[in-house]
Structure 1
Amino acid sequence: MSIRLPLLALLVFSLAPIFASAATAADRFALVIGNAKYPDADAPLKEPINDARSVADELKRDGFTVEIGENLTGDGMRKAFERLYGHIKPGSVALIFFSGYGIQSNRQSFMIPVDAQIWTEADVRRDGFSLETALGEINNRGAGVKIALIDASRRNPYERRFRSFSAGLAPVIAPNGTLVMYSAALSSVMSDNGGDHSLFVQELLKEIRVPDLMAEETLNRTRVGVTRASRSEQVPWISSSLAEDFSFIPGARPTASLPQQPAAATPPPPPAPRVDLPAPPKAETPALPPPEKPAVASLPTNEPPPPPPQPALADDPTIKSLTAKLVENPDDAGSLYRRGQVYASKGAYDLAIKDFGDTIRLNPKDVEAYNNRCWVRAVTGELQPALRDCNEALRLRPNFVDALDSRGLVNLKSGLNKNAVADFDAALRINPRLTSSLYGRGLARQRSGAISDGEVDVNNAKAMDPNIVKEFASYGIR
């Protein structure tokens, strides 16, 4: 519901298919990337660099020729991928590991370089690196086994800049001979554990070090280990189309190469529980019911939230850059809109509203500016102006999912619960994984008296995004 985007953290792709017993060191190539220092984030990520180094060390012991890159820009990532592609020939093995931020866009998952300039969904496709594209290129070069291991479901610093996003990662459409693993369920996000390594990599390294395990079994055991260690709060997702046997360690290696390795592997544990995502709502007519009369008084839980503590906004490097552009050209609508997004993400709502208003003055048909101003006004409690903005956005772009989601928030805060349910229903028909609409519909249903249906929506939304309750609380809704 916020101006947000979803996250990518770790990415591992594996290699060209050959029989495990026939694979040699020359056949195995790995690209390992750890991106931690993103200028748009408040602080560097703690886990990706350590995770990348540990994974690279392990892969070297397993016979891979490894290239490791840290805090790569878009140009650096592009060159690194090209070098990997250049190594691959028919029958070789190629592995890619990426740890950093990632974003789901247009049903694909993108790895994000540290210098990405992301303000709209189109920027994700321009600056990000598609998982599907990378797997497809590896396959085109002749690799038979492709394995993608992705620990990428982090909240990212771009999510409040635009609304057209779904949290977490998308299912991948991969060529035959591919094994894909995400560290968390589809379209879900997890918080980092605050340690030196992610839980996913901790469990992955344990299982990779077990000799003679087929790759699918290695990843299944990793999934079970993560699920148990997190008490089912983090349940990895796996998809496989492997046609050949592949093992990271096709035979026992010297004990010295196995630090702290148990004497014998335990039998694989039973399958981990799954988090079921909600089914898409039934395709009902998109028409909204007649508007309800506004409640006489606002609900006590809908008081506007206090603004968060403000840093020196003028010192923010992004704001400084955009302001400098506006000094040169006050009618730069793009810079006004982007600065408004940054202000909104930092809780400077009055400044955001002004910039969105100036954007609309320069371009009266800027549907994104109307929608984002609607959302900011909804958060601050300016409900009637917010409703006008959302209605205009939907007039300009009918069935605009983000504006439906925003108007649902406006109606929810106004006590117009039937209208809120209708808006959230319409949004979910377009994007059944839009967590904010699912949670908002659950609250609206509960307030309308449909307690059990509302609880189902709320619980499903919380399973998809454990932070959704805190997010709505920041809007003044509990």
Structure 2
Amino acid sequence: MKIRLALLATLIFSIASSAPSLAAGERFALVIGNAKYPDADAPLKEPINDARDVADELKRDGFIVDVGENLTGDGMRRAFDKLYGKIKPGSVALIFFSGYGIQSNRQSYMIPVDAQIWAEPDVRRDGFSLETVLGDINSRGAGVKIALVDASRRNPFERRFRSFSAGLAPVIAPNGTLVMYSAALSSVISDNGSDHSLFVRELLKEIRTPDLMAEEILNRTRVGVTRASRQEQVPWISSSLAEDFSFSPGGAPRPSNALPAPPPAEVAVTPPAPPPPPPAPPVKTATAPTPPPPAPPKPAEITLPPPPPPAPTIVQPAPTTPPSPSALALADDPTIKGLNDKLDKDPDDAAALYRRGQVFASKGAYDLAIKDFTNSLRVNPKDVEAYNNRCWVRTVVGDLQAALRDCNEALRLRPNFVDALDSRGLMNLKSGQNKNAIADFDAALKINPRLTSSLYGRGLAKKRNGSIAEGDLDIANAKAMDPNIVKEFSEYGVQ
């Protein structure tokens, strides 16, 4: 029932200090491409190819490069620790990450392929904060830090959050840091269907241009991406570099008022370290990753409960939600304003319609959210996320017959879709179909035993069905995991 976060492929890029004593610093790079997330419908096409191409270019530029593909949380932690261990005062440290990213608590997180994200605290538990990584690199003596983040994708985790915070957040980074995201703050972009991202393609083209400094390369990359995407994708840059830095080992820094930039040292290029094997796979789905990680086993099929009885058995309660804010009242919201601009140019932009529907739903503008999800489905009739989110919103406002159709369609398109089971369970609970609600919540909890909303909903349904002790136990366990769950359900009109 949760509205997805719209979020992420992230890259980080660190480079050595601007002081004269750093002139002899070595250049180290960690390049990560994460493509095979079991929670996604299909592997991402771009990250692996992009990571390999970036690694090859950095080797030519004098970096000692480690490459990681489809890294788990343990794999990413070991890769970062290995990088930290190499850095000495004067070193250049670069991290490139392409995959999914999520904004949480005003920080941007890089997500490993085995992340189990069902609530926002899971992001901070399983993800890797960009700010933390930059801080760790800085504390080990790297003077110039550059973070390039290509993680502004619509990701498979965002549907699990009832709050909405799309894209990536601004970075509070140490001095001597250059940060670039592949898209604007708090915005997401659709995959272009290519084997390489537009962002990396433009970045590599500019890096290969002789006699350009790093800031100029990134600014030219931003211009190239903006033009090629017809302003649909505008990268974001933030810099606190004290002087010029050149990616090219032979690039001569240009004069500036700051101290002269140190020439990069000649270093030996080492082959990339193989990524470590992943831990046990997530329970929901599994797709066989390309080497080096072995393929996780496919989970057992879970039999879906039969759909609830047809329309005549459902009693429509009176709407219990407060009046929705109007489109005019929300027009000044920066995220909505940006999406409005996109939709003015292309009213059939399904991704923008979907994202605006999420924002409207998170702000209680349910009628507007339903309209946007409906228009998104008109353009893309197989968008299971839009069906599930419309089911959830319709359930909240009490349009239960329509909600049931949406949830059933989502489950037809994606059997065992845990969020649609959770949403349909709520719909059954509101309509008084307690046995069907228990069946839906049971199925959802078999897939994810930590899904608090299904656990709490099942407890309510069990109590209504006469199993008081079992229901009280579910409710107590759900409240222990999420103390706000009672208030949340009361806002849905369920107590």
Same fold (TM over 0.5): yes
Contact 2:22 2:90 in 1 (8 A): no
Contact 2:104 2:124 in 1 (8 A): yes
* Amino acid aligned to 1:15: I
* Amino acid aligned to 2:493: R
* Amino acid aligned to 2:58: L
* Amino acid aligned to 2:60: R
> Which residue in 2 is equivalent to 1:156?
155
> Which residue in 2 is equivalent to 1:443?
none
In 2, the alpha carbon distance for the partners of 1:89 and 1:170 equals: 29
> Which residue in 1 is equivalent to 2:411?
310
In 1, the alpha carbon distance for the partners of 2:248 and 2:442 equals: 52
* Amino acid aligned to 1:251: G
> Which residue in 2 is equivalent to 1:363?
475
> Which residue in 2 is equivalent to 1:8?
8
Question: What pairs up with 1:45-56 in 2 under 5 angstroms?
Answer: 45-56=44-55
Q: Secondary structure at the match of 2:12?
A: strand
Runs of 4+ in 1 over 4 A off after TM superposition: 18-24, 311-320, 335-338, 340-343, 351-356, 364-374
> Which residue in 1 is equivalent to 2:240?
241
In 1, the alpha carbon distance for the partners of 2:144 and 2:454 equals: 53
Question: What pairs up with 1:121-270 in 2 under 5 angstroms?
Answer: 121-251=120-250
In 2, the alpha carbon distance for the partners of 1:353 and 1:86 equals: 42
In 2, the alpha carbon distance for the partners of 1:155 and 1:337 equals: 28
Q: Deviations over 1:66-103 (max 9, x none)?
A: 00000001110000000000110111100000011111
**Shift in alpha-carbon separation, 1:160–1:318, aligned structure 2, 3 A:** closer
Give 1:221 deviation, angstroms: 0.5
Residue in structure 1 matching 2:334, options 271, 274, 278? 278
In 1, the alpha carbon distance for the partners of 2:21 and 2:224 equals: 27
Question: What pairs up with 1:370-409 in 2 under 5 angstroms?
Answer: 387-389=492-494
* Amino acid aligned to 2:33: G
Give 1:317 deviation, angstroms: 10
**Shift in alpha-carbon separation, 1:235–1:37, aligned structure 2, 3 A:** same
**Shift in alpha-carbon separation, 1:127–1:219, aligned structure 2, 3 A:** same
Give 1:173 deviation, angstroms: 0.3
RMSD: 3.9
In 2, the alpha carbon distance for the partners of 1:33 and 1:338 equals: 35
**1:339 equivalenced with 2:453 (yes/no):** no
**Shift in alpha-carbon separation, 1:23–1:203, aligned structure 2, 3 A:** farther
Question: What pairs up with 1:85-96 in 2 under 5 angstroms?
Answer: 85-96=84-95
Give 1:161 deviation, angstroms: 1.6
Contact 1:341 1:352 in 2 (8 A): no
Which segments of 5 or more consecutive residues in structure 2 lack a partner in the other structure? 253-331, 338-366, 375-393, 422-437, 461-470
171-180 vs 351-360, greater mean Cα deviation: 351-360
* Amino acid aligned to 1:13: F
Give 1:244 deviation, angstroms: 2.4
**Shift in alpha-carbon separation, 1:341–1:234, aligned structure 2, 3 A:** farther
Q: Secondary structure at the match of 1:139?
A: helix
Give 1:58 deviation, angstroms: 0.5
**Shift in alpha-carbon separation, 1:69–1:184, aligned structure 2, 3 A:** same
188-197 vs 243-252, greater mean Cα deviation: 243-252
In 1, the alpha carbon distance for the partners of 2:410 and 2:117 equals: 25
* Amino acid aligned to 1:38: Y
Give 1:121 deviation, angstroms: 1.1
Q: TM-score, normalised by structure 2?
A: 0.57
**Shift in alpha-carbon separation, 1:363–1:234, aligned structure 2, 3 A:** same
> Which residue in 2 is equivalent to 1:348?
none
Give 1:156 deviation, angstroms: 1.1
**Shift in alpha-carbon separation, 1:318–1:186, aligned structure 2, 3 A:** closer
> Which residue in 1 is equivalent to 2:274?
none
Which segments of 5 or more consecutive residues in structure 1 lack a partner in the other structure? 254-275, 282-294, 321-332, 344-350, 375-385, 393-478
**Shift in alpha-carbon separation, 1:309–1:120, aligned structure 2, 3 A:** closer
In 2, the alpha carbon distance for the partners of 1:71 and 1:31 equals: 13
Q: TM-score, normalised by structure 1?
A: 0.59
Q: Secondary structure at the match of 1:176?
A: coil
* Amino acid aligned to 1:50: N
Sequence identity of aligned pairs in percent? 69
In 2, the alpha carbon distance for the partners of 1:28 and 1:148 equals: 15
In 1, the alpha carbon distance for the partners of 2:484 and 2:172 equals: 30
What is the number of residues matched between the two proteins? 320
In 2, the alpha carbon distance for the partners of 1:101 and 1:116 equals: 11
* Amino acid aligned to 1:357: G
